[in-house]
């Protein structure tokens, strides 16, 4: 797929408008939600404590609320992640992005990773909520990325996601292509981390990403509109 063949609405509907800073204030969430509504973005992506706040601001709009779980390190127990997921859904979350336990992956505790994914996916499916699994690829070997993709094919989350944006690196074209080559059309790929302009977003979409996580969504849409005018 190419952004150049998309409508403005189609591109906007691929963007998760993100605010995950530890020091965000009430007015920041208000602004985030207003921008998301004005631009018709797919979701606002926030930490789970802000779900109720953003749900209130987005009432009556088409924008969904996405909650980040065990963010950004993934270093909480399965039970804790399940509880946070359930709590976010109870508070109004329409989508969940959770971070895998990278330590357990590095320990080759593969059954743990699969069980974690199964339990969180089950909660989301039961509640008709979109579920995305965050890999944090900057810390992973190719073998580990492939394992996570194959595990996802068994468990079937809606999306697998490259990064939190808080690691040592973000989304790369190579990672998106690798992930997409394994999961094909069975699971969608979300690219996130370091996508700050239209050119970067275009590369991710062309590599196979079907969702873009970025705090630069407004800028990307402005650049897209300028691009269309010049064609």
CA atoms within 13 A on the CB side of 2: 2
- Tokens 């073998």 belong to which residue? 143
| Residue in the structure block whose two tokens are 């939600």 | 33
Find the catalytic residue in 94, 97, 158, 175.
Answer: 97
Active-site entry in 161, 175, 180, 188: 161
- Active-site residue flag, 180: no
Active-site residue, 38 included: no
Q: What is the 3-state secondary structure (H, E, C) of the chain?
A: CCHHHCCHHHHHCCEEEEECCCCCCHHHHHHHHHHHHHHCCCEEEEEHHHHHHHHHHCCCCCCEEEEEECCCCCCCCHHHHHHHHHHHHHCCCCEEEEECCHHHHHCCCHHHHHHHHHHHHHHHHHCCCEEEEECCHHHCCHHHHHHHHHHHHHHCCCEEECCCCCCCCCCCHHHHHHHHHHHCCCCEEEEECCCCCHHHHHHHHHHCCCEEEECCHHHHHHHHHHHHHHC
Q: Is 161 a catalytic residue?
A: yes
Active centre residues (catalytic) = 97, 161, 190
């Amino acid at each position: 797929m190419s952004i150049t063949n998309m409508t403005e609405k189609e591109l906007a509907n691929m963007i998760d408008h993100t605010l995950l800073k530890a020091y965000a204030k009430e007015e920041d969430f208000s602004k985030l939600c207003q921008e998301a509504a004005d631009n018709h973005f797919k979701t606002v992506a926030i930490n789970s404590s802000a779900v109720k706040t953003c749900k209130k601001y987005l009432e009556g709009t088409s924008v969904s609320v996405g909650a980040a779980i065990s963010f950004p390190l993934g270093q909480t127990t399965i039970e804790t992640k399940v509880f946070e997921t359930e709590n976010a859904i109870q508070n109004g979350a329409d989508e969940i992005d959770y971070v895998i336990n990278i330590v357990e992956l590095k320990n080759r505790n593969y059954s743990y990773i699969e069980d974690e994914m199964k339990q969180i996916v089950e909660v989301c499916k039961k509640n008709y909520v979109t579920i995305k699994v965050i890999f944090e690829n900057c810390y992973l070997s190719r073998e580990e990325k492939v394992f996570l993709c194959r595990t996802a094919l068994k468990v079937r989350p809606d999306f697998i996601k490259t990064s939190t944006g808080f690691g040592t690196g973000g989304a790369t074209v190579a990672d998106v292509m690798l992930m997409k080559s394994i999961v094909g059309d069975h699971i969608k790929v979300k690219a996130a981390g370091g996508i700050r302009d239209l050119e970067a977003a275009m590369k991710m979409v062309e590599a196979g990403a079907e969702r873009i996580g970025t705090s630069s969504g407004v800028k990307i849409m402005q650049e897209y509109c300028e691009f269309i005018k010049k064609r």
